[in-house]
Amino acid sequence: MVEALIDSEQVSINVCNGAHEAEARSVLRGLPMDRITFYRVATNEPWCRDHGPIFLTRNRDPKLAVVDWGYNAWGNKYPPFDLDEVVPTRLAEMLKLPVFYPQMILEGGSIDVNGTGTLLTTESCLLNKNRNPNLSRDEIEGRLRDYLGVHQILWLGEGIAGDDTDGHIDDLARFVSERSIVTVVEKNRDDENYEPLQQNLARLRDMKIGGRTVDIITLPMPTKIVRQGLRLPASYANFYVGSTCVLVPSFSDPSDEIALSVLRECFPDRRVIGIDCRELIWGLGTFHCLTQQQPAV
């Protein structure tokens, strides 16, 4: 992943301590280390999309800020999470950036934005009582608007089977342009993902941005992956969009090349790179979960 990204952008890696950094440097030996920056902030989990800082910027003032949302390890599923909960503020201190505190639980993988004021999310995650039991849907939408600068919020329903996040959007549907959304569909009617994904597709067909219907592009789902009796949340929607490349999870599946072909059409100006994630998905996430973009200023 780092080797693929390093030609696209500066890569920042969070490590727990000096020994952890030394181990990472050993693994990355041979790559241009001037393109890699290490930060030492101890964590409980590696999934920085969810616990890490969400960066803000604005056109008229080319400076960065950080939003530090509350974090409770996907609904108190994996304690302890005390180290992860403070990561955004710790990194903001290192980067000397201002921090905003919405006082609301939110993981970065639960939202996707189009860059012009529209946000896409799911009811199964953001409205789940294991996140913000004292906030109504209207109050949650208000905080998304206030702290992310969005003005339109689009809601899908359920997530995919095996997703322990209660339905993160980054396994379901992603913006690929201001009005275009790529969404996963399951063709096997006997698969447990078939009906929820059809319902999400129907919702997308009814959505509008700026009064115009959304352009919908479909991605296949890989064949069901089960390990030690556990259904894994493998999805081609969990791609990461870099400055000049797109990293796409692959699973040694017949649908890999179909998914890569679809995404190459979506991102004609970027290299679309498939990387085998059969081991990474055992951790219940892939590239989008493992990364968090920092805007250039």
Range list of β-strands (E), the chain: 11-15, 36-40, 54-58, 61-67, 99-100, 112-113, 118-122, 152-156, 173-175, 180-185, 208-209, 212-213, 215-220, 226-227, 230-231, 240-241, 245-250, 271-276
Active site residue 277: no
Cα–Cα distance measured from residue 286 to residue 297, given in angstroms and rounded to the nearest whole number: 27
* 221-258 tens-digit pLDDT: 999 999 999 999 999 999 999 999 999 999 999 999 99
Cα–Cα distance measured from residue 198 to residue 185, given in angstroms and rounded to the nearest whole number: 7
Question: What type of residue is 93?
Answer: E
Cα–Cα distance measured from residue 26 to residue 32, given in angstroms and rounded to the nearest whole number: 13
Which residue is catalytic, options 48, 125, 245, 289?
A: 289
Cα–Cα distance measured from residue 92 to residue 79, given in angstroms and rounded to the nearest whole number: 24
Q: How confident is the model at residue 17 (pLDDT cuts 50, 70, 90)?
A: very high
Homologous superfamily of 41-290: L-arginine/glycine Amidinotransferase; Chain A (3.75.10.10)
3-state secondary structure of 279: coil
In the chain, domain spans: 41-290
Cα–Cα distance measured from residue 274 to residue 271, given in angstroms and rounded to the nearest whole number: 10
How high is the mean pLDDT of the chain? Answer: 97
Using a cut of 0.85, tell me whether the model's pTM lies above it.
Answer: yes
* 185-232 tens-digit pLDDT: 999 999 999 999 999 999 999 999 999 999 999 999 999 999 999 999
